[in-house]
Structure formats: C-alpha cells, structure tokens
C-alpha cells in the first residue's frame, strides 16, 4: 500500500482539530487530491470548509486508510460507526492519546491492521516528532505508509512496541509543556534580576528556541554543547552548579516528572 492507492481508494480523517488540520494541510500540499479525502468532523473550521475535501459526506466502503484524530473522550461515540471497515482491507492509524491498540481491536476486529502513533504539539508548525508502532496485522508496508503520512508534520520514529508508548508520551508527547514551563520560569527569573517582563520573555523564548535549533542541527551532543559554553568559574558554571545538583536540580526533577507522566499514562491505558 502506498500513496497512489490512498489517492485511488481514499483517506478518511476522523476528527480535524489542530492536529488533523496540520496533517491535512501537509498532505494536500504534498499532492494528495482533495477529492480523495473524506473528513468527518462535527464542528469544521472555515479553513477546512474551503479545502475541497468530502466534508461530512457518506464514507467510502473500504478506504485505504482511516486516520483517527478525535479526542479520546469522543472515541466511544465515533469509532463504532466505522466497524464495517475493520477486518483487513483498511489500515487504521490512530493519533488519539491514551487509546490502546487492544481497544481498537475490540471495536474493529483483531484482523484489522492498526498503527498507533504519538505526535506532539509542534506538529502544528511542521516541527513535531511522532512515534509509531503497529499490531500483529500491520505490515511493513502499513508502517511505511503511516510514516509517509505523519512525515507531513515532522519527524517520525519507530518504537519496539506499544509497551514503550507511555515513556514516549512522557518524553515527547508531554515534553513541549515542560519546555513552555522552562520559558515562563526563565523569564520570571529574569524579572527577579531586574529585567522588564516583556524583555525577559523575549530573551527566554529566543534562547530556548535557538538552543533547541542548535542542538538539533549540531553534530555535537547536547552534553558537549553545554561544555562548549561553560567557562570554568564563570557565570554559566555558577548556574549549572544549581541546575545539575543531583538532589534538587534537573536530573532528579526531570526523572521524577517523566516517571509521573509515564505512570499516569499506564493508569489511563488500563
């Protein structure tokens, strides 16, 4: 199965919020015909209404792929109506947080190929990272197609299995919130040292964004990049002595935070 088959048989997008819209925009720019896309969304945006897709129309009998992008609390209402597409001919690709492969199999049948994906919010600007894994019926071709589709909003990585999904969620799924909190607290610390609030926030945003871009672009690992900007006995070294403290700094704090997120993911998946 490839994109030509998707164009021929059709793609169903179940839910078109921010994540669904970002993916749809990428597919259309990449050449997927709007006429090959069916979108089911009870509250379509004005942008979506203008894309030329089949909006809230009768769905094809056996589309190549159904991409599930509804909120988890809407799943029980939205998914059973697609049960007739289960059984093998249609690939189901889920970007719904917390919804397990076992749940999809219970509704759609165990013979249904299912790929579960965990994207993150930078996907809205094409800078996301998405982890994917499939069930026993998902072939290499299914995973390849899922990767092509999800590459529209950023990088795609493959994990060993669903047992790693809670850890992925805790690192990259929830991770943007950790970075946003770093920005707000860094700016607040600048204000405490005498900077105007708007200047401190501008400096914090640009610093975090620039450092992230440098880390991604550089051939050196982050630990070496840190060393590169840390002069012995200097200002950065004084700050890192606090931040790298094993008892109360980033190492202990982030281990605890990521573990808490992963544990909550496991609870929600039970």
The whole model's pTM is what?
A: 0.90
pLDDT at 72: 77
Q: Whose CA is closest to 90, among 40, 137, 41?
A: 137
> pLDDT tens across 236-248, in order?
999 999 999 999 9
Say if residues 123 and 179 touch (Cβ distance below 8 Å): no
Q: Whose CA is closest to 111, among 80, 135, 146?
A: 135
DSSP letter string, 120-158: -GGGGGT-EEEEEEE-TT--HHHHHHHHHHHGGGEEEEE
Superfamily of domain 3-164: NAD(P)-binding Rossmann-like Domain (3.40.50.720)
Return the ∠ at Cα 113 (arms to 110 and 114), rounded to 5°: 95
pLDDT at 230: 97
Q: What is the mean pLDDT of residues 114-131?
A: 94
pLDDT at 134: 97
Percent of the chain past pLDDT 70, that is, above it, reads 100
pLDDT at 98: 80
Please, where in the chain does CATH 3.40.50.720 lie? 3-164
DSSP 8-state class, residue 70: S
> pLDDT tens across 124-179, in order?
899 999 999 999 999 999 999 999 999 999 999 999 999 999 999 999 999 999 99
Q: What is the mean pLDDT of residues 182-206?
A: 98
pLDDT at 91: 97
In the predicted model, is pLDDT for residue 269 greater than 90? no
In the predicted model, is pLDDT for residue 1 greater than 80? no
Q: Which CATH number fits domain 175-269: 3.20.20.140, 1.10.3730.10, 1.10.10.10, 3.30.300.30?
A: 1.10.3730.10
What's the rounded Cα separation, in Å, for the pair 247 and 252? 6
Predicted confidence band at 265 (pLDDT cuts at 50, 70, 90)?
A: confident
Sign for the pseudo-dihedral over CA of 216, 208, 227, 157: negative
What's the rounded Cα separation, in Å, for the pair 169 and 120? 9
> pLDDT tens across 34-73, in order?
999 999 998 999 999 999 999 999 999 999 999 999 887 7
CB atoms within 10 A of CB 16: 27
What's the rounded Cα separation, in Å, for the pair 134 and 116? 6
Enter the tokens of residue 73: 């609390």
pLDDT at 212: 96
Please, where in the chain does CATH 1.10.3730.10 lie? 175-269
Summary mean pLDDT of the chain: 94
> pLDDT tens across 65-95, in order?
999 998 877 888 888 889 999 998 999 999 9
């Amino acid at each position: 199965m490839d994109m030509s088959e998707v164009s021929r048989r059709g793609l169903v997008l179940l839910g078109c919020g921010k994540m669904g819209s970002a993916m749809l925009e990428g597919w259309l720019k990449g050449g997927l015909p709007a006429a090959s896309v069916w979108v089911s969304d009870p509250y379509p945006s004005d942008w979506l209404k203008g894309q030329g897709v089949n909006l809230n129309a009768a769905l094809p009998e056996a589309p190549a792929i159904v991409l599930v992008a509804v909120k988890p609390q809407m799943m029980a209402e939205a998914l059973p109506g697609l049960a007739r597409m289960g059984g093998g001919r249609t690939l189901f690709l889920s970007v719904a947080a917390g919804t397990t492969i076992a749940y999809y199999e219970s509704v759609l049948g165990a013979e249904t190929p299912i790929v579960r994906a965990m994207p993150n919010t930078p996907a809205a600007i094409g800078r996301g990272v998405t982890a994917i894994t499939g069930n026993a019926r998902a072939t290499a071709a299914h995973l390849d197609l899922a990767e092509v589709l999800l590459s529209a909003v950023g990088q795609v990585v493959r994990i060993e299995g669903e047992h790693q999904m809670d850890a992925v969620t805790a690192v990259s799924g929830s991770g943007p919130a950790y970075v946003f909190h770093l920005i707000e607290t860094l700016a607040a610390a600048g204000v405490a040292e005498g900077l105007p609030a708007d200047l401190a926030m501008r400096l914090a945003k640009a610093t975090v964004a620039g450092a992230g871009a440098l880390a991604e672009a550089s051939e050196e690992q982050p630990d070496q990049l840190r060393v590169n900007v840390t002069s012995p006995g200097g200002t950065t070294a004084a700050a890192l002595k606090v931040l790298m403290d094993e008892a109360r700094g980033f190492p202990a704090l982030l281990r605890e935070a990521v573990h808490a997120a992963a544990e909550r993911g496991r609870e929600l998946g039970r």
